Amino acid sequence: MNLSEHSSILIVVVPLIASFLNVFIGLWRRSLCYPLFLLALVICGFLSIDLIQNIINNGTIRYKLGGWMPPWGIEYVVDHLNAYVILIVSFISLLVAIYSKRSLEKELEESKLPYFYSTYLLLVTGLLGITVTGDIFNLFVFLEIASLAGYALIAIGENRSVLASFNYIIMGTIGACFYLLGVGYIYIITGSLNMLDIAQLLPKLYESKVTLAAFAFLVVGVAIKIALFPLHRWLPDAYTYAPSAVSVLASATMTKVGIYVLIRISFTIFEPNFSKDIIPAGTILVWWSTIAIIFGSILALGQIDFKRTLSYILIAEVGYMVLGVNLGNKEGFIGAVLHILNDALMIACLFMVTGGIYYYLKSRNIEDFVGLNKKMPLSMASFSIVALSMIGIPPTAGFFSKWYLIIGAIKAEQWIAVIALLFSSLVNAIIFFRILEKIYFKKGNSTKDINVKEVPVSMLIPILILATSVILVGLFSGKIISSIIQFTVPGGF
């Protein structure tokens, strides 16, 4: 068996099998669950590195599932964009797995841990499956696996998490149904489910009303899943009340994978000029996301609970990426794809630090963060780096993607979008400098005399790795763009 030939399927199968093995082992020896869980994610990490190297050297990988020829069988297609998102998902999920060990000990009963690990692995399976598949119905199946695992993981949090998860189920199911309806319409008119096959068959049918309905259903369905502005209501509650580790994983990977699906729909299944010339979907989404940026930023400013602040910032960040994808030029698209990586790193790090503060302090209230720099110096240093990146200060990663996005918006002459991007940076500056002032400069010790200290090493290491990679990605962003991202730009830009 040649391993790298099969790496695109193995990356889905390994977490899937490990998730069921975890249940068996959990019934027998509970202490062996965590090592198995970690091992599966480490293997995923290696496979994703193998995949991206393979693609940089040899180009697109196509894999026939079950030996059936496409377009009849399911085909897995991995190109630069897939490999890039797979690398992000497996890297973040490995770091969160390391982080989760200690944080879960305080937030979950020990008897439930094996089930947590297997649900976590199912979520990772779903997310990786969405990214590797080249079949729109298979994508729906993985979307449901990821969402169902996500609902379960969110519901095991604090008291109110059950209600939050229920709201998420309702919204998420509507989103999935819309997506499925879109797939159904496409299947009715083309008779195919393979993305590349559909891309060849569809252009003759662009004038058909069915095609327009299919496109609308697909885009709105995915917009619910990524919480784009008017459809975002489920997100803040779900991510605020979920356990810390789940918030990190969900916020850093689920929305990014959703953006990936949006890119696939707009530029692979449909040709880029469809959403520009035939219906003004690109323009509508630009306006939609501009409102998302402004709205998310303003609401983030008004929150007391820091996790909720981050959730609203995430809504604004989703706006950034959707904006960049739909600007219709190369700079905007590169900015959006680069921002998928940057935002995953930054949001994951911020949620991890919040979880770390909550670990001893038992509070996420911004007012309680006073004087934390003396007690948790390393976490707070990482927090500061990422905060600067969120604002967009040059050597950090956040600057570069914002730079590309603003250039793209100027080129597309979307002046309101430019203003929204600058406005959002300013609001981020207010939010984070206000917190940094509390952490570093404000006198007094309001940490309630609780014995707050630096978080355990296994939680600290992922935070430090993410903070370092925020700087490294910033420094090497030119290299990342020239070796991977420039190949993801669809033709015609």
Partner 1 sequence: MIRLIEDLHIQFVCRIMVPLIQFFALYVIAHGHYSPGGGFQGGCILGASFILMMIAYDIEYVKKRFPEKFNTFMVAFGVFLYAAIGALCLILGAEYLNYGILHKILPADPVKVRALGTLGIEIGVGITVSAVMLSIFLNLSTFGKHEKSEV
Q: Which residues bind partner 1 (CB under 8 A)?
A: 1, 6, 9-10, 13, 16-17, 20-21, 23-24, 27, 63-67, 118
State which residue, 68 or 433, has the beta carbon closest to partner 1.
68
CB of 148 to partner 1, least distance (A): 12
Helix (H, G, I), strand (E, B) or coil at 135: strand
CB of 64 to partner 1, least distance (A): 6
The terminus-to-terminus CA distance of the chain in angstroms comes to 40
CB of 118 to partner 1, least distance (A): 7
Residue that is written with structure tokens 């499925």 in the block: 180
- Are 315 and 397 in contact by the 8 Å Cβ rule? The answer is no
Amino acid identity of residue 398, one-letter, is G
- Are 113 and 104 in contact by the 8 Å Cβ rule? The answer is yes
State which residue, 151 or 432, has the beta carbon closest to partner 1.
151
CB of 399 to partner 1, least distance (A): 42
Cβ contacts of 33 within 8 Å, gap of 6 or more = 22, 25, 26, 113, 114, 117
Q: In this structure, what is the dihedral angle of CA atoms 19, 25, 27, 29, given to the nearest 10 degrees?
A: -140
State which residue, 1 or 457, has the beta carbon closest to partner 1.
1
Tokens standing for residue 106: 């305080």
Q: Phi, psi (5° rounding) for residue 135?
A: -130, 125
Tokens standing for residue 15: 């977490």
- Are 361 and 450 in contact by the 8 Å Cβ rule? The answer is yes
Cβ contacts of 412 within 8 Å, gap of 6 or more = 286, 327, 328, 329, 332
State which residue, 31 or 111, has the beta carbon closest to partner 1.
111
State which residue, 66 or 478, has the beta carbon closest to partner 1.
66
State which residue, 27 or 457, has the beta carbon closest to partner 1.
27
Calpha distance 91→94 (Å, rounded): 5
CB of 133 to partner 1, least distance (A): 12
- Are 119 and 179 in contact by the 8 Å Cβ rule? The answer is no
CB of 15 to partner 1, least distance (A): 10
State which residue, 6 or 479, has the beta carbon closest to partner 1.
6
Count of other CB atoms within 10 angstroms of residue 238? 31
Calpha distance 215→229 (Å, rounded): 19
Q: At what angle do helices 306-326 and 255-263 cross, to 10 degrees?
A: 10
Query: Measuring CA to CA, how many Å separate 353 from each of 72, 328, 365, 426?
Result: 47, 36, 13, 22
CB of 154 to partner 1, least distance (A): 17
Distance, C-alpha 388 to centroid of its chain: 20
State which residue, 160 or 442, has the beta carbon closest to partner 1.
160
Tokens standing for residue 275: 């959403």
Tokens standing for residue 343: 């935002």
CB of 204 to partner 1, least distance (A): 32
State which residue, 24 or 433, has the beta carbon closest to partner 1.
24
State which residue, 64 or 330, has the beta carbon closest to partner 1.
64
CB of 213 to partner 1, least distance (A): 29
CB of 308 to partner 1, least distance (A): 28
